[in-house]
Structure 1
Amino acid sequence: MPTVRPRRILSVWFARLSVDRWRRAFAPDAPETCAPTALIIDTAHGPRIIAANDAGLEAGARAGMLLADARALCPDLVAVPADPAGDLATLEKLALWAQRWGPWSALDPPDGLLVDVTGAAHLFGGEERLLADVARAFAARGLATRAALAPTAGAAWALARYGPPASILHPGDDPLCQLGDLPVAALRLDDDVLTVLRRLGIKRLGELAGVSGTSDDPEAEAAARDALRRRFRNHRSPAANPLLRLDQLLGRLPEPLLPVIDRPMPMVQRRLMEPLRHRASLDRVVGDLAQDMVRALEARGEGARRLELALWRVDGEVLMRRIELAAATREPEHMLRLFARRLDDVNAGFGIEMLQLRASWSEPLALSQADLDAAAEQHGTSLAACVDRLTVRLGQQAVTRPVVRASHIPERAQGWQPPLAPVPPMQSQLAFNTRPLKLLDQAEPIAVLYASPDGFPQRFRWRGAVREVVRVEGPERIAPEWWRERSSVRLRDYYRIEDEAGRRYWIYRQGSVGDGRGGTPDWFLQGLYT
């Protein structure tokens, strides 16, 4: 019978993925001693730091800290918007690239990878040399990493983040001898679970292993073990149950991993015997590429949503042109018509010797009789073609559609999305009073010159002109969204007013006198009735 090889999992931790990406993209030549910089994301309580460079860390900036608090320690701290979506996309590409060390890899978001290297270490001269090759390969790409090898994903994850550099847990070794001194945070638990364990006095994996029944004196630990199991018995998620995580780390329970599968993109190209220098010849070749792309997409049962055209000039320069479509399509004439506007500014130089067309985004598209007008209207291809032409002419962000959002705050009750994207279902029907069709992008402050005892203004100044109020309706009180706003945010009283010229406005008073959340209320104009 064939022998079963012990499983070997490689865990790679990118300790500074966001900072490394920012430095490579925007400051490739800047040393780490540059200005203190922090990567931030917007939250309900203000900008929050998710990462900082070395200078920022030395200045006191930490992940999870509010930007305002960090600037109190370091007024010169530079804030740069973070890109979590870009970090995840980079991690997916690195997961595919990491399959050079094993047959499959999996994401370990937000900053790690798992690679199955079972039976592959001898190809690199042993596990020690494999880890050295991993560190060297990622360092050449400008990424700081820590890697570890273990029989389970949980043990490899713990060693990569909390163990010594380039740690290896060999098959047959007692895991607790090498992992017992690691903190319980090495079990990939939620923050509230870690807080509970700290309150129970459990700080190390060895202490938790004793409570879970693996100590030499199980009877002495029976009471603590039963209490811990009762506390977490209703938590089915591994991240919320330390006993499940410990069993996964020790290999008692399997841990399913979702491998990253490379999905090749449809691509066609033309290598030309003579370089192209004229537009008519270029259009003919692009039309041939569009026909080839349609055949490739038909074989996959898909349609293109994004097409990228690369043109190699004789001097080595590569010109890129990209279009995005509102709906999946396999119409070569439509593709050629959209690319025609993108090719107006192409400078062929001494000639173009190769063209490549790639569908970097495709979706399933069933076969249909596109030559009939009725079928085209049924599948919406006519509308999609119109949207694509408007997008190419006006720009990607210029063609959108409004959608209703589940919020009673006026500026949040409406959003914008691509014109043919599905409209998200409303979870509840929100009933509002009459609101204006035109809302300002941002509510503009108005100077109230005289207010009546009832609370509404009788005269106010807006954009340099004084307006007399002749009719008033209201108020409509709108409270802040307590689940996303600070407790100090003031409520609003909205009024529909009309001036002496018949112009109607939608204004509101932010706060009320004596509400304990500020001084004198402020007035704003947010909408116009047409």
Structure 2
Amino acid sequence: MRPPPQAGEVKQVFPSVVVAKQHNAILIHSLDEAAVRAGLSIGLPLANARAICPELTVYDADEVADRKTLEDIADWCDRFTPLVALDPPYGLYLDITGCAHLFGGERALLQIVSGALGRRGFAVSAAIAPTAICARTLTRHASGKIVADGGEAEAVSPLPVSALGADDAITAGLRRAGLKTIGDVASRGHHEITARFGASFTALLQQALGQGDGPISPRKPLPDYIVEKRFPDPVATDTVIALNLSALAHMLVTAMDKQGKGARKLEASFFRTDGAVRTITVEAGRPVTKPEVIDRLFRERLEALSDPLDPGFGFDLIRLSASRTEIVVQQQRDLDANVHDNDELSALIDRIAARIGGKRVVVHLPEDTHIPESAVQAVAAQHHLAAAAQAAWPERIEGEPPLRPLRLFDKPEPIKVPFATVPDGPPHQFTWRRVTHAVVRVEGPERIAMEWWKQNGDGPTRDYFRIEDEAGLRFWIFRDGLYDGEPAEAEDEAVPPRWFVHGLFA
């Protein structure tokens, strides 16, 4: 063991690298500045690296953790622009068009982002350019540079060809051809470069030179409407947070009202000063056009959170967005009482869904099938309330007993039948849940064949009976399969029919 450094001594920093197995070899995946000064580089085998630098500190690569860290940084960058795209394994694109002035200009924004990430222990290389590829190219050899529109070619021409980030084979081929800088490659004809290295590399080169631009794919879709409030001093009290969220709701409704739209899905994002981001989502069954409704939905949602909103040292940004909107259809509300009833029902469903989740509030719709357990479909009430109001259910015949039980089991439960009338008669008694019931009245059978086109042609046949026992309890039972009157073959014994209870009438 090395002795601890004495007072006044400078602690020695040993080079560190992260290694990963590639092509059956352990290669350097990433490294720090001390390793670069020692002569190491990415892609160098670990054995060679140890020979060059015996004091090397080695860590195994964790791609899952790296991806998670990159996504966390992307969440933090959402405070600067909602258009953030990933550039794996360790890059990000930020589209700052139209929002740099909020932070004092492009230079100030670049310093804010780089400084904040640097204080959190990250080594940051950043640049601003009119095209994404040009900015990425500059980050490799000219960090901190800002390129004006039209100056892309001049900015990247002196850089080595490796800054383009092309395949190693292409980079090596360019160097063998004597093309060491991007300017050297740009001086050749496009057709010549394409014939030698492919059209994709030519497109990459053109985007780096500003002669074309490729779209970036934001990790989150851009909301239809977005409003936000930035705070010079972080806010942490519930009252101040609620007041600012209410003010944002008024701003959002005003913006949507200009185009006659209402919000169906709303998201409130809270950005903490330590970089953590919390997003709360609520949905509505009908387009929301009133700020007080938005306030109520978020209040219900925040109060029902199992993990309460923790401001930590405070929020420096609160953002409210409408990620899904619809055109508001004006209705006559003065004379139609049903409209008011539907509004109240929809508001009630929205409040309950905000507390317990939209998937837990359901309505039932009829299905066009004769299979009992498939005749009803449970769907989210917020999205199918209008369909449920117009659903046509089979009408009961007056004076006749119900054909279907009041309580239908999700899964039929097996019963024991010691003997029954064959070939298609009812049982004389059965045992269900350890209780034996003697049958005194029977109605049936009602034969229901399964949907053979969904059962690979081997669907069973059910005979349903409405029966009543000596205690007056009424059951809906069925026999799964048919009795076979012919003796079974010894090597292919027939499986006897099974009996189930499927529901209760009372």
Q: Are the structure 2 counterparts of residues 430 and 351 from structure 1 closer, same or farther at C-alpha, using a change threshold of 3 Å?
A: same
Query: In the aligned structure 2, how far is the partner of 1:282 from the partner of 1:513?
Result: 71
> 2:42: which partner in 1?
none
Pairing partner for 1:450 from 400, 416, 419: 419
> 1:358: which partner in 2?
321
Q: Are the structure 2 counterparts of residues 311 and 411 from structure 1 closer, same or farther at C-alpha, using a change threshold of 3 Å?
A: same
- Contact conserved, 2:360 with 2:380, CA < 8 A, in 1? no
* Aligned ranges 1:95-174 → 2 under 5 Å: none
Shift of 1:374: 6.5
Shift of 1:31: 11
> 2:453: which partner in 1?
483
2:296 counterpart SS class: helix
Query: In the aligned structure 2, how far is the partner of 1:417 from the partner of 1:358?
Result: 26
1:502 counterpart SS class: coil
Structure 2 length-normalised TM: 0.51
Q: Which amino acid aligns with 2:286?
A: A
- Contact conserved, 2:267 with 2:280, CA < 8 A, in 1? yes
Q: Are the structure 2 counterparts of residues 359 and 32 from structure 1 closer, same or farther at C-alpha, using a change threshold of 3 Å?
A: farther
Pairing partner for 2:224 from 236, 249, 265: 265
Q: Which amino acid aligns with 1:490?
A: P
Gaps of 5+ in 1: 1-28, 34-92, 102-121, 137-164, 169-261
> 1:286: which partner in 2?
245
Q: Which amino acid aligns with 2:416?
A: A
2:476 counterpart SS class: strand
Q: Are the structure 2 counterparts of residues 30 and 300 from structure 1 closer, same or farther at C-alpha, using a change threshold of 3 Å?
A: farther
> 2:499: which partner in 1?
523
Pairing partner for 1:391 from 346, 353, 369: 353
Residue-by-residue CA offset, 1:323-360 (whole Å, 9 max, x unaligned): 11111111111111111133342111111110011111
> 2:47: which partner in 1?
none
Shift of 1:369: 8.9
1:347 counterpart SS class: coil
Q: Are the structure 2 counterparts of residues 327 and 426 from structure 1 closer, same or farther at C-alpha, using a change threshold of 3 Å?
A: closer
Query: In the aligned structure 2, how far is the partner of 1:30 from the partner of 1:335?
Result: 52
374-383 or 313-322, larger mean C-alpha shift: 374-383
1:449 counterpart SS class: coil
2:256 counterpart SS class: helix
> 1:340: which partner in 2?
299
* Percent of residue pairs bearing the same amino acid type: 34
Structure 1 length-normalised TM: 0.49
Aligned residues: 295
Structure of greater Rg: 2
Pairing partner for 1:419 from 381, 387, 394: 381
Q: Are the structure 2 counterparts of residues 484 and 446 from structure 1 closer, same or farther at C-alpha, using a change threshold of 3 Å?
A: same
Pairing partner for 1:402 from 349, 356, 364: 364
Residue-by-residue CA offset, 1:123-181 (whole Å, 9 max, x unaligned): x99xxx9xx98999xxxxxxxxxxxxxxxxxxxxxxxxxxxx9789xxxxxxxxxxxxx
Q: Which amino acid aligns with 1:393?
A: R
Pairing partner for 1:459 from 429, 436, 449: 429
Query: In the aligned structure 1, how far is the partner of 2:319 from the partner of 2:365?
Result: 37
Q: Are the structure 2 counterparts of residues 375 and 290 from structure 1 closer, same or farther at C-alpha, using a change threshold of 3 Å?
A: farther
Q: Which amino acid aligns with 2:443?
A: E
Query: In the aligned structure 2, how far is the partner of 1:354 from the partner of 1:388?
Result: 27
- Contact conserved, 1:408 with 1:430, CA < 8 A, in 2? no
Query: In the aligned structure 2, how far is the partner of 1:285 from the partner of 1:379?
Result: 32
Q: Which amino acid aligns with 2:375?
A: A
Q: Are the structure 2 counterparts of residues 354 and 167 from structure 1 closer, same or farther at C-alpha, using a change threshold of 3 Å?
A: closer
Q: Are the structure 2 counterparts of residues 353 and 368 from structure 1 closer, same or farther at C-alpha, using a change threshold of 3 Å?
A: farther
Query: In the aligned structure 1, how far is the partner of 2:354 from the partner of 2:239?
Result: 20
Superposed CA RMSD: 4.4
Q: Are the structure 2 counterparts of residues 427 and 322 from structure 1 closer, same or farther at C-alpha, using a change threshold of 3 Å?
A: closer
Query: In the aligned structure 1, how far is the partner of 2:361 from the partner of 2:425?
Result: 42
- Contact conserved, 2:425 with 2:445, CA < 8 A, in 1? no
Q: Are the structure 2 counterparts of residues 525 and 303 from structure 1 closer, same or farther at C-alpha, using a change threshold of 3 Å?
A: same
Query: In the aligned structure 2, how far is the partner of 1:456 from the partner of 1:438?
Result: 21
Shift of 1:463: 1.1
2:285 equivalent to 1:326? yes
- Contact conserved, 1:406 with 1:427, CA < 8 A, in 2? no
Q: Are the structure 2 counterparts of residues 414 and 309 from structure 1 closer, same or farther at C-alpha, using a change threshold of 3 Å?
A: same
Query: In the aligned structure 1, how far is the partner of 2:338 from the partner of 2:425?
Result: 58
2:452 counterpart SS class: coil
- Contact conserved, 1:406 with 1:426, CA < 8 A, in 2? no
Query: In the aligned structure 1, how far is the partner of 2:23 from the partner of 2:430?
Result: 54
Shift of 1:383: 2.0
Shift of 1:379: 8.7
**Bigger relative CO (Cα 8 Å, ≥ 6 apart):** 1
2:298 counterpart SS class: helix
> 1:501: which partner in 2?
471
Shift of 1:273: 2.2
Residue-by-residue CA offset, 1:200-246 (whole Å, 9 max, x unaligned): xxxxxxxxxxxxxxxxxxxxxxxxxxxxxxxxxxxxxxxxxxxxxxx
> 1:176: which partner in 2?
none
